[in-house]
Structure 1
């Protein structure tokens, strides 16, 4: 549940579609803050007990100016007399700019109210607040910003912004911002202003002539995007690649009283970003291929050991090779899962389940009916933890099946081995327990010297930096592992 949904969960003034409209606004209003050189606060009507007032449900700071608010006001309740401009925004349903600067914070703050229209009514009000102490003679760039901000504010009051249809930025790290480059075009597509960054971006696409005064169709290599924004009235975002350069553009139509007056074009050169992403994809593919080859090699070794085991006459030799095959297969499982992932971590619950299935096929029979159960969620673990831990679980579960149920009366109680995971922020607790005969009186699992337990102790203490402790259940044996997480 988002913060906005949580804050409006019990607000009787707003229903589902209105809340969705506010969600879209919060995802897009960074551009309004940047164009306005101002902080934005979003207020809805609410009550605090018997007192009516306004609750702040959203806040946005500008990238183009210093913020007024160091603290976050989201969730705070204000009485009506504390926010008179907000009240005027709800009552008058228009953009209000006629208030004098407020000096209560020590600096002159000009507050403006922008109503948020939806469904023929005002569902919220944006308080746009700017420090006018830094005011100076604005440049053409700043005038273009402020003009576009006024147009978006009027659209917000009319319910035309945020856009109901069209491409919407999904990745905040990639989507273009005001400072990346901006172009203003009129209703027929003529460029009335282009920032230096925007001009540079189009030059990387091969347009070397002047941009100002030209039609966007003669500047942009894919003019159909601009046509869709101007003809259909919805936002369009897309990338253009030319000679190794990649530029992202977003066309945002501007509407005044139902009439399209032009569009705002945000432009960002993302050449280096896309080059970096391609390099990462190549690296990920290489890593996955390495894991795939390691898995194949391990499976080949396991197959060779199985063939060798079939040729041995000694039962003890065949069992030793079968144990080695299971150890190798458990490591191969980790590499198999990592080969499918685009990152160096894997869901360990899947690995544990696959290990249990593998051991069940190799160790469980009609004479030894043992069930397995995996509880809890260990989450994703990196390869440096998942690989030794997979081998540890293989050894512990195999040890339980082979030694805990000798002389066990399976007619009275089926065998059960349970693996329980309990993950915390910095540790992973694993308990492997069985309902077998248990250890002899006064004997701890740590003191036993068979090869499997030696492998477990070495991996847990040396490779994983954890601890291994024998627990004392009512019956059976339980081993607790505590593994630190990075």
Structure 2
């Protein structure tokens, strides 16, 4: 039953694969054991498609403990504003610990969130452990209060909170059990007066003044978050229903005007579209240049010029590969490139195009994921292209097969790219256009070094450059 519920919710609300869902099902099956062992409330949350919210797909409560939750929360939507730890772990793939976190049910808990990853190290869900925070029992001469006689309005106006609320940009609106307005800070009063076109609003039915809030009030949840657009305003409304002995009391609304934020998001979206279009045009222009070169080659040319044209085509393809990788990304303004994936793409194509030679290509990441900006990625693409091109052109003369090995190592905040082959070797390396390109790019663009390492069989070239703001290393 547990596994079937997870499967049904994931299929309906997420974009997870069957394999990802199976991982979550196995974890959900053992969730009760984890809950009893740690005496914690356990949950599994998954992100909704294509939203910035999540959904609870599994839960387990420790047997014999005082329940934190009166009802099941499976299928309930999770908002980032109330459970930031869930979304932190989702985005960063790291463990999150929040002391005295407030859940959407208004319960104070110690919360630990651990990302759940698939075989490709992608975060597919989060495992949440919650324990209720127990307030220390008052001792000595500390006075005990069992009943709060002040209303929320009195507490807000008579304490320092009233002064603070007057300074907030957020709108605080408080209504009684009949939905009559009993308090609003200056920002809240401005909103009510502006949208209702009435100045005398105190003690009036808020839902008559602002009918669009009826949807928020009709929600049965004690804590509810709702985003709406009204009169060209974008608002996030957080409703907190205050209860005393399970009787409905005041309702507090915290309203945030995010109109400017949404406008900026639209501008960024337009910028993202423009950036993507630029990447498309660069890629298409490179393909046009390559097509013109191929056309010239088909029209006929001296045999000694053909290899130079082929080398130029490979260089163009290497640069174009950078933009192809960027264009596959979800966010167009994310121009970071995984240079190991880039190397695989470039090298594989070059080796496959060698019809008269059988070459075994070996790429060794050594559990490294190396990410650079597109500018540096173009330089690295050209460097790798030249080194592989040299091996294919010169290393295996008189041979029908060979091995090319590309290895990535990281040591002392430096990245090293080793390109070696088992070919005829180079006793006296000669300066050529290719080596000049490599030296210039390594020195000027990567701030690194390039050298050949002596070896008995074949050639071994090494490029090293520092890790920095434009070069990041991750463990795979």
- Note whether the superposition's TM-score is higher than 0.5: yes
The structure 2 residue matched to 1:395, chosen from 386, 394, 407, is: 386
Normalising by the residue count of structure 2, what TM-score does the alignment of the two structures yield?
Answer: 0.63
1:205–1:356 CA distance, 2 compared to 1 (3 A): farther
- Kindly provide the CA deviation profile for residues 61-111 of structure 1, in whole angstroms up to 9, marking residues without a partner as x: 99xxxxxxxxxx999xxxxxxxxxxxxx85xxx88567667xxxxxxxx99
Query: What is the aligned counterpart of 2:294 among 290, 306, 324?
Result: 306
Rg larger for: 1
Q: Kindly tell me: are residues 251 and 74 of structure 1, through their superposed partners in 2, closer, same or farther at Cα, counting changes over 3 Å?
A: closer
Question: How far did 1:300 drift?
Answer: 0.3
**1:288 aligned partner:** 276
Q: Which residue, out of 324, 344, 347, partners 1:336?
A: 324
**Closer, same or farther in 2 for the Cα pair 1:258/1:337, shift >3 Å?**
same
Alpha-carbon offset, residue 460 of structure 1: 0.9
8 Å Cα contact 1:337-1:346 kept in structure 2: yes
Deviations 1:330-377 (A, max 9, x none): 111212332343323233333222212321232x22x31012232224
- Using a 3 Å threshold, how does the CA distance of structure 1 residues 293 and 25 change in structure 2: closer, same or farther? closer
**Kept in 2: contact 1:309–1:317 (CA 8 A):** no
Equivalent residue of 2:377, what SS?
helix
Residue in structure 2 matched with residue 386 of structure 1 by the alignment: 377
8 Å CA contact retained: 2:171, 2:185 = yes
Match of 1:466 in 2: 448
- State the match for 1:226 in structure 2: 216
Aligned match of 1:479 in 461, 468, 471?
Answer: 461
Q: Which of the numbers 433, 443, 449 marks the counterpart of 2:431? A: 449
CA distance in 1 between counterparts of 2:285 and 2:183 reads 62
Q: For 1:9 and 1:435, how far apart are their aligned partners in 2? A: 57
Quickly say closer, same or farther: Cα 1:201–1:308, change in 2 above 3 A: farther
1:211-258: CA deviations, max 9, x gaps? Answer: 4323332344522432333xx224332223345432211112333333
For the structure 1 residues 420 and 26, does the alpha-carbon distance in structure 2 shift closer, same or farther, using more than 3 Å as the test?
A: same
Contact 1:205–1:242 under 8 Å retained in 2: no
Q: Which runs of 5+ in 2 are unaligned?
A: 1-33, 43-59, 70-77, 85-96, 103-109, 113-132, 147-153, 470-476
Q: Deviations over 1:384-403 (max 9, x none)?
A: 21111111111111111111
Q: TM (normalized to structure 1)?
A: 0.62
Look up the match of 1:13. Answer: 39
Structure-2 residue corresponding to 1:353: 344
> Using a 3 Å threshold, how does the CA distance of structure 1 residues 138 and 251 change in structure 2: closer, same or farther?
closer
**Are the equivalent residues in 2 in contact too, given 1:206–1:242 (CA < 8 A)?**
no
Determine if the alignment matches structure 1 residue 318 to structure 2 residue 306: yes
User: 1:250 maps to which residue?
Assistant: 238
| Match runs of 1:25-36 below 5 Å | 28=82
SS state at 1:187 partner:
coil
SS at match of 1:223: helix
How do 1:260-299 and structure 2 match up within 5 A?
Answer: 260-299=248-287
Query: 2:79, 2:225 within 8 Å by CA — same for their partners in 1?
Result: no
Q: Deviation at 1:142?
A: 3.8
Specify whether residues 188 and 449 from structure 1 end up closer, same or farther in structure 2 by C-alpha distance, changes over 3 A only.
same
C-alpha distance in structure 1 between counterparts of 2:411 and 2:249, whole Å: 56
RMSD of aligned C-alpha atoms?
4.2
Distance 1:9 1:466 in 2: 52
| Partner secondary structure for residue 379 of structure 1 | strand
Q: Which of the numbers 325, 336, 360 marks the counterpart of 1:371? A: 360
Q: Gapped runs of 5+ residues in structure 1? A: 1-7, 31-56, 63-72, 76-88, 102-109, 114-136, 149-176
The alignment status of 1:197 with 2:187, answered yes or no, reads yes
- Asked if 1:416 is matched to 2:403, the reply is yes
Match of 1:133 in 2: none
Give the distance between the partners of 1:349 and 1:357, measured in 2 at CA: 12
Q: 1:270 to 1:325 in 2, by over 3 A?
A: same
SS of 1:436's partner is coil
Tell me if the contact between 1:378 and 1:423 (Cα under 8 Å) persists in the aligned partners. no
